[in-house]
Each structure stands twice: as structure tokens, then as C-alpha cells.
């Protein structure tokens, strides 16, 4: 590796084999993995090997957010006695581990997670995270996951970076990198490619919802999008819409934003907060998107307690927040993270943006969902339900829900009574379920025919 002379000796002194990095952990330790794409996948394999070989190595807590794939250290201990793996937002691998009793969920609001570290609610002895290789100025860049990485490193006793040349070098507002002087050990990984999931296919219902949302966005709007088929197709539609001077202030940077940039729709010129930059806290998507962010000065990552701070979001005029949900009940409560007692994802930043966009001058928050889905037996079920089943988590309280969208329409709930809310929600349910929803609403005393406004 070619290093600037000033850092060569320090780099070599801190270089450690992955087996040695795994050997730093002591029984009883609390450790952290860098979140999302910055999870130390290479070193995790060596920690798993140690778990299998050393039965005296016990009671180690590993904390992260969205492990990309399946955490091998957790898989190595089916007894759950050596490794206690917990996660503040689930991906597919985390869901698999959770179902099999090998992963616990940590409820959080995404923007608050750095404060958990600042206030001592979570204190790792060691943090392991993936970064770019050392740059000429002595920094390891966090690439596509600024989020809470710097705060993790500040609070840990030991910092171990796992360098990977596949991590794009991403510019940031601040806290997007770690200086070699802040690092205790360096592991050179196998430089494996970053996880780049296949795009989620959009459905006819997704396209209908996206078409409804197009009318809610205008020149100068600032956009936040979640993940899934609907946001992807919405981005494609917006790229062809002719809209101008759009801004981006988003928790997650997705492929749809690349389409908008390349179509010339995005300038970020109208933003009062971080003008001229597409702001995000982490990115996840295709290799095309990772290549787009690499050394791109039009985009900037910031820590999540800035990007997702509702007070900062509220200062952005015409903020449009668009997120998916699993269910909405007749009170207007939103469930976006669990299927009864099964944790599927997490609260993440959805509530942050619902709250912030709702206080923005001209801002709007949209919760989107298809009106129906098919269960495991192939039965069609409504996503608009009278009340949530036991165990179902409320991600957004009814008092904060703004707009709800299905393929049958867009409704606005703020300022409406429980009857007006129920009536509006039933109106965007699938027609096959409306009568049964009315019957249940009558039992719940939130809908009566005599209340109907002509």
C-alpha cells in the first residue's frame, strides 16, 4: 500500500491480523459493529471462528443496526450463551436470526441513537467497522454510512477499522471520516464488494400510488423517500416529470435519487438548510448508486442526529416525506415495523420525518401502502384494519399521522375527528373490505351513518 510518509510508521504499527482483532474481545464485553454497509463482515467471520473454538469465550454482547447478510458470530452460538446479538433495525438476515432466537431488537428513534451513546445508555468497549482505505491526509472515510459511526468511535475504548477498497469515498458535512490518530487497530480485509440488493419490483398498485404522489410535489420541493418498489417507481416518474429545483434531504439515499440527479431535476438551490447539497445519513442500493456517490461533491453525508432531527427537518420549506407502512388502523395509527409479534424492521427514521415534515412550512408527510396483501395461504387481506392485532407495534401515533395513500386515493387526517378519520380511511380501502370496516367502526363507536356529511 502506498502511504504518505507521515502515516506509514503509524499505519504499520496499528496493523493487525483479523485473528488478532477477534482476540481483542474479552468475555463479558459489550462491542459494537458499524451499522449497515459498514458492518465488519470480514472480521465477523474470524470472531465467529473464535466463538466455535473457544467455549470459555462467553457473555459477549454485540450491538448494531442492519447487518448486511447474517451475522456469523451470532450464528456460531446456537445456545445464545456466548454471543448476545441485538439490533436496532432489522434487515433480512436479522429477521432470520430473530425468528430463530439469535437476535433481539432494540427499540429506537434513529435520530436519537447517537444520544444513547452520549448519555451512556450504551457503552461499547470495542467498535469494529468497515471503512475506505487510508487516504493521503490520514483519514479513513465512512463512505455511505455516516449515521452514528463517529459517535460510536468516540465512546469506545478501542476502535478497529476494517479497510475495504469497495467502500465509496463520500464527502460529508462533518463526522464523515476517522483520522488514523483516532484508530487503535487496522485490519486489511479481502475487499469484497458491497451488498447491492436486486431492485424491488414495483406492482401496479405501487405505480398507482406513485402517480397520485406526483401531483403533491412541485418545483422546489425537498424530498425524503423510503425504500421499496413504490419509491423507486416514483423516482423514475419524477425524473420524467419536468419538475425543477428539487431538493433532497433524506435519511437513506436510494437509486431513485440518482435518476433525479441525472435528469437535472435536483439542484438543492431552494433549501435553506444545507443548500446546494443532497443530504443523507446512509445509502443502500445498487453498485450504480455507490459509484454515483463516490467523490461526488453534489452530495453530503451528515450524522443522523442532524439529518433526522425533526427540528432541522421542520426548517426546510416544502419538505415532502414519503414512507411505506404495513398497516394503518381506523384511528390513523401506523404500523411499519412488525407483523404481530414478529419484528420485521424498526421504527428507524420514519417518525422523525413524519414529525419534522409536518412542522415544515408547506411540508407534507405521506404514509403509503397498498390496500391489500396476500397471506401465506394466499388469502387476500386488507392493510387498512379496524385495530391492530396484539403484538403489532405502532410506529406513528394517530396524533402525528398526516397523509395516508393507497391506490384508491390520498387522504389528510390532521385536524379530523375519530369519525372523520375512520370515514376517510375506509374510503381508500379496497372496495371488497369497506363494508366490513364500516361494521367494525360502528362497533368501535367511531362511525355512524347519521354522522355522514352530505
Active site residues: 251
- Which of 359, 383, 360, 387 is CA-nearest to residue 373? 383
Q: How far apart are CA 257 and CA 214, in angstroms?
A: 15
CA dihedral sign of residues 115, 120, 124, 125: positive
**Cα dist. 426→328, 385, 432 in Å?**
11, 9, 11
Q: How far apart are CA 451 and CA 454, in angstroms?
A: 9
C-alpha cell at 303: 450524522
Do the beta carbons of residue 304 and residue 110 sit within 8 Å?
Answer: yes
Residue-wise over 255-294: b if at least 16 C-beta within 10 A, else e? bbbbbbbebebbbbebbebbeebbbbbbbbbeeebbebbb
C-alpha cell at 34: 458499524
β-strand pairing of 403-406 with 384-385: unpaired
Q: What is the DSSP string of 357-424?
A: HHTSTT-EEEEE--SEEE-TTS-EEESEESSPPTT---SB-TTT--EEEETTEEEE-TT--HHHHHHH
Q: How far apart are CA 428 and CA 437, in angstroms?
A: 11
Q: What is the DSSP string of 247-306?
A: EEB-SEE-HHHHHHHHTT-B--TT-SSSTTSEEESEE-S-HHHHHHHTT-TTEEE-BHHH
Do the beta carbons of residue 258 and residue 290 sit within 8 Å?
Answer: no
> Which residues, in sequence order, are CB contacts of 378 under 8 Å at separation 6+?
none
**Cα dist. 341→296, 347, 388 in Å?**
42, 15, 11
Q: How far apart are CA 419 and CA 157, in angstroms?
A: 55
Amino acid at each position: 500500500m502506498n502511504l504518505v510518509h507521515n502515516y506509514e510508521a503509524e499505519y504499520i504499527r496499528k496493523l493487525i491480523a483479523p485473528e488478532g482483532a477477534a482476540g481483542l474481545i474479552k468475555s463479558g464485553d459489550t462491542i459494537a459493529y458499524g451499522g449497515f454497509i459498514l458492518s465488519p463482515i470480514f472480521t465477523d467471520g474470524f470472531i465467529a471462528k473464535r466463538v466455535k473454538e473457544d467455549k470459555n469465550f462467553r457473555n459477549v454482547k454485540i450491538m448494531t443496526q442492519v447487518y448486511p447478510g447474517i451475522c456469523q458470530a451470532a450464528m456460531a452460538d446456537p445456545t445464545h450463551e456466548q454471543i448476545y446479538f441485538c439490533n436496532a433495525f432489522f434487515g433480512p438476515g436479522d429477521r432470520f436470526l430473530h425468528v430463530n432466537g439469535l437476535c433481539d431488537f432494540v427499540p429506537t428513534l434513529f435520530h436519537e441513537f447517537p444520544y444513547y451513546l452520549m448519555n451512556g445508555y450504551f457503552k461499547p468497549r470495542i467498535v469494529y467497522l468497515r471503512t475506505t482505505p487510508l487516504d493521503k491526509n490520514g483519514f479513513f472515510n465512512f463512505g455511505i454510512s455516516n449515521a452514528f459511526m463517529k459517535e460510536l468511535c468516540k465512546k469506545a475504548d478501542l476502535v478497529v477499522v476494517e479497510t475495504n477498497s469497495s467502500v465509496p469515498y463520500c464527502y460529508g458535512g462533518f463526522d464523515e471520516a476517522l483520522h488514523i490518530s483516532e484508530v487503535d487497530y487496522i485490519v486489511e480485509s479481502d475487499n469484497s464488494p458491497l451488498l447491492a440488493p436486486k431492485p424491488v419490483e414495483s406492482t401496479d398498485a405501487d405505480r398507482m400510488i406513485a402517480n397520485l404522489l406526483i401531483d403533491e410535489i412541485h418545483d422546489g420541493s425537498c424530498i425524503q423517500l423510503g425504500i421499496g418498489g413504490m419509491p423507486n417507481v416514483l423516482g423514475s416518474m419524477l425524473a420524467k416529470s419536468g419538475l425543477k429545483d428539487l431538493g433532497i434531504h433524506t435519511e437513506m439515499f436510494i437509486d431513485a435519487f440518482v435518476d433525479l440527479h441525472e435528469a437535472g431535476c435536483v439542484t438543492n438551490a431552494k433549501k435553506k438548510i444545507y443548500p446546494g447539497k443532497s443530504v443523507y445519513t446512509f445509502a443502500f442500493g445498487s453498485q450504480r448508486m455507490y459509484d454515483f456517490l463516490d467523490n461526488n461533491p453534489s452530495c453530503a453525508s451528515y450524522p443522523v442526529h442532524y439529518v433526522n432531527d425533526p427540528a432541522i427537518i421542520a426548517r426546510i420549506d416544502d419538505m415532502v416525506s414519503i414512507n411505506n407502512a404495513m398497516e394503518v388502523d381506523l384511528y390513523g395509527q401506523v404500523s411499519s415495523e412488525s407483523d404481530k409479534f414478529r419484528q420485521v424492521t424498526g421504527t428507524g427514521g420514519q417518525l422523525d420525518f413524519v414529525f419534522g415534515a409536518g412542522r415544515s412550512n408547506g411540508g407534507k408527510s405521506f404514509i403509503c401502502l397498498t390496500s391489500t396483501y396476500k397471506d401465506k395461504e394466499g388469502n387476500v387481506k386488507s392493510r387498512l384494519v379496524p385495530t391492530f392485532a396484539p403484538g403489532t407495534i405502532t410506529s406513528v401515533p394517530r396524533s402525528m399521522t398526516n397523509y395516508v395513500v393507497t391506490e384508491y386515493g390520498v387522504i389528510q387526517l390532521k385536524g379530523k375527528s375519530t369519525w372523520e378519520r375512520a370515514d376517510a380511511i375506509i374510503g381508500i380501502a379496497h372496495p371488497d373490505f369497506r363494508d366490513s370496516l364500516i361494521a367494525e367502526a360502528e362497533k368501535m363507536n367511531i362511525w355512524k351513518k347519521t354522522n355522514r356529511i352530505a
